[in-house]
Copies of this chain bind each other. A is one copy, B any other.
Amino acid sequence: MNPLDPKEFRRQGHMIIDFLADYYQNIGKYPVLSQVEPGYLKNLMPEFAPLSPEPIETILQDLQQHIVPGITHWQSPNYFAYFPSSGSTAGFAGEMLSTGFNLVGFNWVSSPAATELESIVMDWLGQMLNLPKAFLFSGSGGGVLLGTTCEAILVTLVAARDKMLSQIGRESICELVVYVSDQTHCAVQKAAHIIGIHPKNIRVIKTIKSTSFTLSPESLSSTIQTDVQNGLVPCYLCVTVGTTSTTAIDPLGPLCMVAKKYGMWVHVDAAYAGSVCVCPEFRHFIDGIENANSFSFNAHKWFLTNLDCCCLWVKDPASVIKSLSTHTVYLENSATDSKRVVDYKDWQITLSRRFRALKLWLVLKSYGVVNLRNFLRSHVEMAKTFEGLVKRDKRFEIFVPRNLAVVCFRLLPSAVAKISNGGSKTEDVAKISNGGSKTENVAKISNGGIKLEDVANGINRRLLDSINGSGTVYMTHAVVGGVFVIRCAIGATLTHTTHVIMAWKTVQEHADAVLNY
């Protein structure tokens, strides 16, 4: 047994490449959202691991027959759910090389190229984003590649907490307050919980439709003032550039001004929208970044870099290192002692780390800045096309202004009202919105117990289920301001305008069916 025999590695490697190339070739044939039932795989798999080896040919058959049907095809051109998981040949090649070298780059000496390429690529990318020098190694800051935004938030939260506790004393941990909006990613609340912020000290500030569900500097300011009056200590603010539900862009500049007064750490979570800020015409989304402390985006979302790859820049790496560094004898080495190197283990939660920089390096070199920008723009253009199609169908509305390549839309209550007013039986409306047929619901509607908005929510939910159940396309939903909206997130690498137009046709067909139910 030689598990790294070059000849066998080559043979099997080529087989896997062909398997995946065929997969991409045929990906449009699969239902985008897997249609399996919970527990489907258990009956298809043996109860115990095999005692004897199986040939790769058998394993790939097994994969095709049993695993692929249980996969939701994030690389499908008809994938419009959540946010994209943006793969590419270059991103894949980079990950292969990283997996092949299989090195553990926790500090510089464990593999100097892993650290140095990461620092270089992070400065390249920082320059593309026109980040202030203060965030770059060529200035006084620096960047690091993590797995996900959740880690970026945890890293910066710990640094912010410790910075504040070093002033007010560790015993005051229960006085620290973290600020988010009701549109901020749940990662912040989870990370705040993990680092020991008292649950009652996480402020979730309400957003409203008239300001497109962005965090209001005035609301933030008044919330902080109340906390300070109550003897609490403002610690961390997360500003979102491109929220998950609707890609809302929080007003970074004014929010930083509020936070600055209280010496809080401001993190800018641009998980989704950060990528597109490499285009000059979208760079204004992060105007004001010079007053933030840290900034992150996911290159695996919309930057052709296969999962996982989160880019985090911090203005003051020392504060992160202070919180996260470890000193163990068995990792001591003269390079670290010389203080001439970066040891990335001190910039992250874990010790071990993959050579993630390779894939970002391959993406940047393989496509080049100009093409990357144009590629991102093409998704925004496709979203405009989709938006235009929605607007032309009077049964629908665009629920919030489109900022980038996500369109949030829904069947209008007025379209739904037609059903309840004679387009269909009242009873049916109740069925649709509740998925049941109890007469008590009908009574509720006639007595005003169920509002038209609720009925609309129910029907839009039913519409989305109907669309996704078809397997033709996959979209997901959000609920903002109490309203259920369907999100069409454009950005899968294989998506072209034709897919977007087909997606809209699918929506219309299912709307016809649902409304005439």
Contact = CB atoms under 8 A, between A and B. Distances in A.
Q: DSSP majority for the A interface?
A: helix
A48 B148 contact: no
Nearest to A10: B21
Nearest to A127: B48
A193 B162 CA distance: 10
A40 B323 contact: no
B71 A101 contact: yes
A318 interface: no
A494 B4 CA distance: 7
A367 B1 contact: yes
Interface residues of A, number: 152
Interface stretch (A50-58, A231-239, A289-297): A50-58
Contacts of A487: 330
A2 B493 CA distance: 8
A70 to B, nearest CB: 3
A26 to B, nearest CB: 9
Contacts of A62: 365
B71 A114 contact: yes
A139 interface: no
A109 interface: yes
B40 A369 contact: no
Interface string A147-168: 1101100100010010000000
A319 B243 CA distance: 30
A104 interface: yes
A148 B49 contact: no
Contact of A340 (B38, B194, B199): B38
A98 B174 CA distance: 41
A10 B93 CA distance: 11
A328 B150 CA distance: 15
Interface in A89-135: 89-93, 95-97, 99-104, 108-114, 116-117, 120-121, 124-125, 127-128
A350 B151 contact: yes
Contacts of A82: 104, 110, 330
Given A116-B41, A195-B196, A371-B53, A4 B89 contact: yes
A20 B24 contact: no
A67 interface: yes
Interface in A310-367: 323-324, 326-330, 332, 335, 338, 340-341, 349-352, 354, 358, 362, 364-367
Given A9-B20, A49-B368, 18 more contacts: A3-B493, A13-B93, A16-B100, A36-B113, A38-B341, A49-B127, A51-B369, A52-B370, A67-B117, A71-B113, A71-B114, A87-B102, A104-B307, A148-B352, A151-B349, A190-B349, A307-B352, A329-B477
